[in-house]
Amino acid sequence: MTEPTSPGPLDRWYEAAGVRGGVRRIFHAEAERGHVFFPEHLVPHLDHPEVRALAPERIRELTIRHLYQFLHSTTHLETRVVNGAAEPVANGRSGMDFPSALRMDAFKVYCDEGYHALYSLDLADQIARVTGIPVPKVDYGGFVTALEAAGRALLPGDPVLAGQLQAVVFETLITAVLNEVPQDPTVVSTVRDLMRDHAKDEGRHHRFFSAFFLELWARLNRSRRIAAGRALPAMIRAALEWDLAPVHGSLRLAGLGEEQARAVLADCYAGEAVTARIQAVSRATVRLCAQVGAFELPGVAEAFAAQGIDEPGER
């Protein structure tokens, strides 16, 4: 096992982590004047003719509900997917032996994600109270339930490994939203501040999980490596799939009929654009798979190709 030689991404956690020194972000009604709640180009359905034909007030509500979906699904992802994987590592019950420094790092991630979940829920709640636009009563964790089912199907009998890989995939995908929103002057400042806070922690998590993946891989025997390598591309795709049930509900609340809502989903959330996005966002994760030699294992390159994800050299 390699001993860490360079400074670890969470070495300065006590000084740098949002949960250690951050401020609570407070939303004020005046902050929203002339601003949007989410960058409009990152809300796929806003560009659809059926949606563009709606009154400006309905479009504003759709954008607010898109932010709610982002914030609420973040709480599920952080506490169920990432912390679901961090906890067994931290408590030494993953079936693999990790050094105590790495176990403490896993607890640092655990604290960060719990805090991210708290402030995401807090901001959605504040915005709902100030704007009077309620958070719809839908399941924002449907996405996580689907991921868990995919993990069980892809790695039957190895739920711990499935959970670890899903967390690595999530934490190493480039989160365009977290990086883009803080730079976007059209967006409400409280939303930008919160996403900036989150992006800072996630930059460290990205580095931690990249290093963790190498440690994890080193502890797998050949048959688990093959199973993992074949499961990873489907996990990448599953992690980037949209949860359409809340989008559908939001479109109906905006006044679209059932058929119109379904047509918007079909037009905006499928096809070429989805695969192009998956390629772009998964680049770092795929490079990591190449780094450990996953593509040389039987069936792995084929599994990536089947999901429409190219090997790094082919991009």
Residues in contact with Fe ion by the rule CB under 5 A: 78, 113, 116, 202, 205
The Cα 110–Cα 86 span in angstroms is 6
Based on CB atoms, which residue is closest to Fe ion, 10 or 265?
Answer: 10
Based on CB atoms, which residue is closest to Fe ion, 37 or 208?
Answer: 208
DSSP, collapsed to helix, strand or coil, labels residue 139 as coil
In the complex, least distance from residue 204 CB atom to Fe ion, rounded to whole angstroms: 8
In the complex, least distance from residue 302 CB atom to Fe ion, rounded to whole angstroms: 31
Q: Which two tokens stand for residue 296?
A: 């040389």
Q: Tokens 């770092």 correspond to what residue?
A: 284
Based on CB atoms, which residue is closest to Fe ion, 59 or 85?
Answer: 85
In the complex, least distance from residue 195 CB atom to Fe ion, rounded to whole angstroms: 11
Q: Tokens 């489907």 correspond to what residue?
A: 234
DSSP, collapsed to helix, strand or coil, labels residue 278 as helix
Q: Tokens 């989410």 correspond to what residue?
A: 38
Based on CB atoms, which residue is closest to Fe ion, 117 or 187?
Answer: 117
- H helices of the chain, where? 13-16, 18-21, 49-52, 56-76, 83-90, 100-131, 142-154, 159-172, 176-180, 189-218, 222-240, 244-253, 258-268, 272-281, 283-291, 300-306
Based on CB atoms, which residue is closest to Fe ion, 162 or 167?
Answer: 167
In the complex, least distance from residue 50 CB atom to Fe ion, rounded to whole angstroms: 34
Based on CB atoms, which residue is closest to Fe ion, 72 or 116?
Answer: 116
Work out the angle at residue 137's Cα, subtended by the Cα atoms of residues 44 and 48, and round it to the nearest 5 degrees.
20
Based on CB atoms, which residue is closest to Fe ion, 195 or 238?
Answer: 195
In the complex, least distance from residue 87 CB atom to Fe ion, rounded to whole angstroms: 14
Alpha-carbon torsion 265, 267, 272, 276, what sign?
A: negative
Alpha-carbon torsion 157, 220, 233, 205, what sign?
A: positive
In the complex, least distance from residue 100 CB atom to Fe ion, rounded to whole angstroms: 21
In the complex, least distance from residue 120 CB atom to Fe ion, rounded to whole angstroms: 9
